[in-house]
Amino acid sequence: MARGLAREALQAWSVGQDCMDSALLVISELVTNAVEHALPPVTLHLAPSDHIPGRLRVAVADGGPSDRPGEWAASCDPDEGGRGIVIVAALAADHGTTVGTGNTTHWADLPLSA
């Protein structure tokens, strides 16, 4: 659902295909991590970066770390996970985490053009 809504917004903003593909993959990784490792609610934020012109900000906020993993993460072998942040780092011009009171936001800035 997050990818579909994001695709609609990115198409409406006339974002190029390379940026759209990267954004959708980053969204998949960040939302999956939030669902599997954090508390609700999970919220996707997508907008041109306020900090650096020419970049798209993808941010996923959650309710902070969960005491136990989600159903998928709990069923995996330890070597099956942990690649998401590597994928995000490879696609993003910059990425990071902001911890607030009762929430955590993982974000990535993607170049709007190649």
Residue-range domain boundaries for the chain: 2-111
pTM, to two decimals: 0.84
Concatenated DSSP letters for 23-86?
HHHHHHHHHHHHHHHBPSP-EEEEEE-SSSTTEEEEEEEES-B-SS--HHHHHS-GGGS--HHH
- What is the mean pLDDT for each group of 10 consecutive residues in the chain (114 residues)? 90 93 96 91 90 91 79 53 84 94 94 79
- Euclidean distance between the first and final Cα of the chain, in Å? 26
What is the rounded distance in angstroms from the CA atom of residue 4 to the CA atom of residue 50? 24
Q: Does domain 2-111 have CATH number 3.30.565.10?
A: yes
